[in-house]
Amino acid sequence: MIGRAIAARLLATGWAVDLIGRDAGHLPSGIADAGGRFIAADRDEPSQLAAALGAGADLVVDCICYSAAHATGLVALAHRAAATVMISSRAVYVDAAGHSSNSAIPPRFDGPVRETQDTVPPADTDWRTKNGYGASKVAAELVLLGSGLPITVLRPSKIHGAGAHRPREWVFVKQALDQRPAVFLANRGADVDHTTAAANIAALVELAAAKPGRRILNIADPDAPSALEISRAIAGLLGHDREEVFVDSRTTETLGRHPWQRPYPIVLDMSAAVDIGYRPAGNYAETVEEEVEWLVTSALKGRDGSELPPRLDAEFFVPFFDYPAEDRYLAARPQPGIADPF
């Protein structure tokens, strides 16, 4: 998802872009058509990465750097790059009580989170686990920044973009494709969990290439839409005329669940990026269009409605769809003009 957005932006402005992966079949056709070149290499094979980089590059971007070991491999490449960017995560941040976005107890930040906010302690642990993810990212960041090289660490929030493995917007796109009569939103749709367009990451990466530096920057959309605003943006794009049913917070197990549920808002402060000249590609509603179009194009229309193509993480979405419960709720409501017998 992220590499695709960065490649699209750079190719459009005249860069030569090589994309590294293990499977050439994963290269989006639009990127190949625009001149993106695929090089097969496994990041766990340092010699393959070194060969892919060759004599060097103006910019190296690592979208899959999760650990100190990965970072050590990236530093070796960064010596041959004018600028390097590593994709970290907002999952590194902790609130005053030490809770992160991956903690069992949700974090409660005082306001928009700046890059100076405390982080989880670094750890050499399994980055694939909920607890290990943030700690491993911090460990990777420390290796990169400690190298003294012009490496920019970006901390995105919840990313949206074409090619997402887990495209959260699917929750509302599927409802539109299935022509659901109503959208249900827990906590009246007021929850805010900052979104980050892959296209906005790409805009900041382009700037980091123009102004190489050793720094950490947040990256999130210029607005921080609530779940209600997210659902309305998608309904608007797809012409989905539906009723909004507000479900009071956490009174029900499944009705109104969505991927941006948060008891306290998480918003990233973008002033550090703006201070070095960052200009976003667009706000949430503008940038989400690409992912929505991609989802509509790739959705499979099956007997029971719209489904994600099998390569995407369909399991993740199971808790967000309970159409029978929604139908029961709608049917059980007192009808307008009909006296409530109770």
Ligand X SMILES: NC(=O)c1ccc[n+]([C@@H]2O[C@H](COP(=O)([O-])OP(=O)(O)OC[C@H]3O[C@@H](n4cnc5c(N)ncnc54)[C@H](OP(=O)(O)O)[C@@H]3O)[C@@H](O)[C@H]2O)c1
Is 28 near ligand X (CB under 6 A)?
A: no
Query: Can you say how many angstroms the Cα of residue 40 is from the centroid of all Cα atoms in its chain?
Result: 25
DSSP string, 296-313: HHH-EEETTEEE--TTS-
119 to 158: interface string for ligand X, x by CB under 6 A: -------------------------------------x-x
The residue count for binding ligand X (CB under 6 A) is 20
Residues in contact with 280: Cβ distance below 8 Å, sequence separation at least 6, in sequence order: 197, 200, 203, 221, 222
Which tokens sit at 97? 């009580």
Residues 178-237 that bind ligand X (CB under 6 A): none
Residues 86-115 that bind ligand X (CB under 6 A): 87, 89
Question: Token match 């790059």: residue?
Answer: 81
Q: Among residues 13, 111, 148, 165, which is the contact residue for ligand X, using CB under 6 A? A: 165
Q: Which stretch binds ligand X (CB under 6 A): 18-26, 51-59, 73-81, 321-329?
A: 18-26
Is 44 near ligand X (CB under 6 A)?
A: yes
Is 8 near ligand X (CB under 6 A)?
A: no
The nearer residue to ligand X, 43 or 232, going by C-beta atoms, is 43
Question: Which runs of consecutive H residues, i.e. helices, occur in the chain?
Answer: 2-12, 29-33, 46-53, 68-78, 130-146, 170-177, 198-210, 227-238, 271-275, 284-298, 314-317, 323-332
The nearer residue to ligand X, 1 or 10, going by C-beta atoms, is 1
Q: Least CB distance from residue 118 to ligand X, whole Å?
A: 18
From the list 152, 150, 4, the residue with the least C-alpha distance to 80 is: 150
The nearer residue to ligand X, 43 or 258, going by C-beta atoms, is 43
Q: Least CB distance from residue 21 to ligand X, whole Å?
A: 3
From the list 52, 46, 61, the residue with the least C-alpha distance to 3 is: 61
Binding site for ligand X (CB under 6 A): 1-3, 20-23, 26, 42-44, 63-64, 87, 89, 156, 158-159, 163, 165
